[in-house]
Structure 1
Amino acid sequence: MTPLLIDFPVFDPVAIALGPLAIRWYALAYICGIVIGWLYARSLLKKERLWGGPAPISLPQLDDFILWATLGIILGGRSGYVLFYNLPHFIKDPLDIFQLWNGGMSFHGGFMGCVVAVIWFARRNGLPILSLGDVTTAVAPIGLLLGRIANFIKPELWGRAADPDLPWAMVFPTDPTQLPRHPSQLYEAGLEGIVLFIVLAIMIRFGALKRPGLILGSFIGLYGLSRIVSEFFREPDPQLGFLWRGMTMGMLLSVPMLIVGAILVARALRKPATHQATPPLQAHP
């Protein structure tokens, strides 16, 4: 009996065409992720109850930081891909490093680039590094969700071969093997995007921003866990394959995140909540 597979939807690679200007889905995902994340971050800074008083970062400072964060994500993401995923190729053809339209971005590299941007901007402007990191990572799942959807639309970074009886297995048109596979991009969109955003939003609702570093550490640890789980369904990059003890590059880069995240969470919970509003004076009889 022929297995029932989901037909892969056909997408136009160009999301928006304005005359000679063509914006592809991957670029649109970055643009929308940054803009929506910026708007969400502004809404967090406006709500004093989430901080127990005025937020330690002003809206103009956040607006200025967006450019820094964008540069950190793009430069770090590309550098991470070059170093971690395809260094021999880029040593042979170094000009390919600048061909961003051909794809090739690393989350772990982009995250490190964003960390550098946070530290640099915070020190230049006298801002608390951990609080700026909290705001940045609180909005990060929005970009992750849109980025993974763009991976699916392209399509790229598909999953490992699946049981043909799996109801949602699909054949990706760019896959030369034409095997039914897991739509791992959607798994990652769900875990790294939707689930992670909901968890962090609930933590924020219950006062996590009053403990600098708690959201940052939670994001780092939970992303690392989500990525490791997702990698069990994702086909390894062909130029790398499986590495140490059958782990993939994504797994190896995510293991340190579990450790760093746990340390930041433990430190945040040990310290008393900060930025709390001064309680009103009590009248004495």
Structure 2
Amino acid sequence: MPLFVIPYPMISPVLLEVGPFALRWYALAYVAGLIAGWWLAKRIVADDRLWGGRPRPTPADIDDLIVYAALGVVLGGHIAYVLFYNFSFYLERPWEIFTVWRGGMSFHGGLIGCMLAMALLARSRRLPVLAFFDTVAAVVPIGLFLGRLANFVNGELWGRVSDVPWAMVFPNGGASPRHPSQLYEAGLEGVMLFLVLLIAVRSGGLQRPGLVCGLFGLGYGLARIAVEFVREPDAQLGYVYGGWLTMGMLLSLPLVLAGAALLWQAWRFRPAPLASGSRAQAS
């Protein structure tokens, strides 16, 4: 037990409550992340200098994408949580699957749902799917940052017991101080990954299909795996193997491999001259 423990800031998870209506920080984080990501994505696709003539979505496509992406994130995230994180609970109470408003989200499932939504939209617009992936990958860390801060406010997904000087005692985490792993993830998956991707975008990374998306997959996967070593595993799952391997690690490994493969492919790509008659882009 450390001599000094940083007190956990007791912040109500409900920001505003009017009668039966309650606005929670977590819901606000989702909405704010979508709006901020939508705004930045529109600026990215509108800047001709970033793309070097590569076919890409228009700002109007991004307007349509936010609806597709929101549905993909919510449905994919909840379905993956049901299947991978709490299957036995939902097997006994199948009606609870439809109570999405009660929580239960998986980032990896939300990512898959969002990717499927982007693929459908790209096909309908006859655009390269990697152009959508690269655009969205550049802005996803904004939502990750806000989401992890909301996890911290809710006092959930805390880390393992620790004696580091910045350990905290969480309301539902017992009497022992723990790693504030939500803040680690906010810093790594949010701030640091966003800066890396921003540098890549500003350095011509969008001119190589899959480079920004690959950087995101590799960066997020490595950051998540690293934090999983100090994050308390889900109570209903525990460790998958050997007292150290978690479900979060297993689900992040494919992201690392896919990200590395996309980076290798993007590095080998040589931008071709813009063909005449290609789809006009909004500026």
CA distance in structure 2 between the partners assigned to 1:212 and 1:243 by the alignment: 35
| Corresponding residue number in structure 2 for 1:28 | 28
CA distance in structure 1 between the partners assigned to 2:35 and 2:103 by the alignment: 21
Deviations 1:157-198 (A, max 9, x none): 0000001xx2211000122x2210000000000000000000
Shift of 1:55: 5.8
Q: TM-score, normalised by structure 2?
A: 0.93
| Corresponding residue number in structure 2 for 1:85 | 85
CA distance in structure 1 between the partners assigned to 2:195 and 2:50 by the alignment: 16
Shift of 1:18: 4.9
What is the SS of the residue equivalent to 1:6? Answer: coil
CA distance in structure 2 between the partners assigned to 1:102 and 1:18 by the alignment: 18
Shift of 1:54: 7.3
Q: Show the 5 A alignment for 1:16-95.
A: 16-18=16-18, 20-53=20-53, 56-95=56-95
| Corresponding residue number in structure 2 for 1:215 | 212
| Structure 1 position 227 matched with structure 2 position 243 | no
CA distance in structure 1 between the partners assigned to 2:30 and 2:108 by the alignment: 16
Shift of 1:244: 2.3
Please say which of residues 115-124 and 30-39 is displaced more in the overlay. Answer: 115-124
Identity %: 51
Gaps of 5+ in 1: 279-285
Is the CA contact (8 Å cut-off) linking 1:217 and 1:260 kept in structure 2?
yes
Is the CA contact (8 Å cut-off) linking 1:52 and 1:277 kept in structure 2?
no
| Corresponding residue number in structure 1 for 2:269 | 271
In structure 2, give the amino acid aligned to 1:228: I
What is the SS of the residue equivalent to 2:168? Answer: coil
CA distance in structure 1 between the partners assigned to 2:89 and 2:127 by the alignment: 40
CA distance in structure 2 between the partners assigned to 1:167 and 1:2 by the alignment: 7
Is the CA contact (8 Å cut-off) linking 2:54 and 2:207 kept in structure 1?
no
Q: Show the 5 A alignment for 1:52-201.
A: 52-53=52-53, 56-163=56-163, 166-175=164-173, 177-201=174-198
| Structure 1 position 203 matched with structure 2 position 194 | no
Task: Label 1:134 to 1:273 Cα distance change in 2 as closer, same or farther (>3 A).
Answer: same
Is the CA contact (8 Å cut-off) linking 2:55 and 2:127 kept in structure 1?
no
What is the SS of the residue equivalent to 1:244? Answer: coil
What is the SS of the residue equivalent to 2:22? Answer: strand
CA distance in structure 1 between the partners assigned to 2:254 and 2:37 by the alignment: 26
| Structure 1 position 12 matched with structure 2 position 12 | yes
What is the SS of the residue equivalent to 1:256? Answer: helix
Please say which of residues 258-267 and 53-62 is displaced more in the overlay. Answer: 53-62
CA distance in structure 1 between the partners assigned to 2:197 and 2:233 by the alignment: 29
